[in-house]
Structures are given as structure tokens and as C-alpha cells.
Amino acid sequence: MVKLLILAVWASALTALSSYAASEWRLSHVAGAHEAAPDRTYEYRKTRVINVPVIADGALLGYVIMQFLYAIDAKQAEKLDVNPEAFILDYAFRTIYGDPSLDFRHLDKYDITGLTGQIRTVVNEKLGPKLIKEVLVQDFAYMPKDQAPK
């Protein structure tokens, strides 16, 4: 009878200790995963659509229609006094409007990756480092002048 009682206490203690060890291991594993996660939480936002006029030889040829998607640090964005979308669209407009290599009469591939990289760099220089993680192109189209709504 004593052996049975000792066996029951031993089995109960072993079960309790193994449950405790397993829960501690699980908590340390989950805590380590949270510590490894970066402080930055990025959220994706869309810009409004902009139309950039394409002018060559003093004549309006059409419009480039663009919309961007950008990943922004949510914590830093709350502290900003200005909307970063304004800087993104301004730089994109100035770049497309003033780019002599963009000639829709003689189409070549346009360097979209370079444009989005430049937008990210310029906005981060003006508003804070690592504010914008990436800029993606949502829409990029060309509409000739004769197809534009009046």
C-alpha cells in the first residue's frame, strides 16, 4: 500500500513538473518571437490618382495617369504635421513632367523602379529616415489627348 502511495505522489509530481517546464518553454519561445519583431509597424496607404500632362514641341500630347501605394511607419506617421502623400505626388509629378526621356511618340521602357526608389529616398530625406519603407506603383497609364474626357 505504501509503494502504491509513493508511486501516485511520484507520478503527480512528475506530471506537475513536466507541465510547468513545458509552459515555461512555450512562454520563453513566444516572448523571444515578440522581442525579435522590429519596433516598426508599417501600413500601406494609397495616394490619390494624378494626371501629368505630356507636352512636346509646345503641344499637349496626352496625360500620364498615376497612383502609388506606399508603406509608411505608422508610429512616425502619427507624429507628422503634413501628409506624406503630398510629397510623394509632388515629386512624382515633377519627375514625370520634367523627364526628357519620357517621349510617348517614341516609347521605350520607363524606369519605374528608379522612380519609386527616388520617391522613397526624397520623402525620407524630407520627413525623416525610414518613414517610407517602399513605394509601389498602383496604376500607370497613358491617355492620348483625343481620348481625354472634356
Does one domain contain both 82 and 129? yes
Does one domain contain both 16 and 53? no
Average pLDDT over residues 28-42: 65
- What is the predicted pLDDT for the residue at 116? 92
C-alpha grid cell for residue 112?
519605374
- What is the predicted pLDDT for the residue at 27? 80
- Which H/E stretch holds residue 5? helix 2-36
Average pLDDT over residues 31-35: 59
Domain span including residue 4: 1-37
Q: For the chain, first and last CA: distance in Å? A: 99
Q: For residue 117, what pLDDT band results from cuts at 50, 70 and 90?
A: very high
Q: For residue 146, what pLDDT band results from cuts at 50, 70 and 90?
A: confident
More confident residue, 94 or 13: 94
CA 46 to CA 9: how far, in whole Å?
64
CA 11 to CA 1: how far, in whole Å?
15
Does one domain contain both 91 and 135? yes
C-alpha grid cell for residue 19?
507541465
Q: Where are the alpha helices (DSSP H) in 45-108?
A: 74-79, 84-98
CA 116 to CA 114: how far, in whole Å?
6
Nearest of 132, 112, 111, 110 to residue 122 by alpha carbon: 132
Does one domain contain both 25 and 65? no
More confident residue, 31 or 109: 109
Q: For residue 48, what pLDDT band results from cuts at 50, 70 and 90?
A: very high
Average pLDDT over residues 20-39: 69
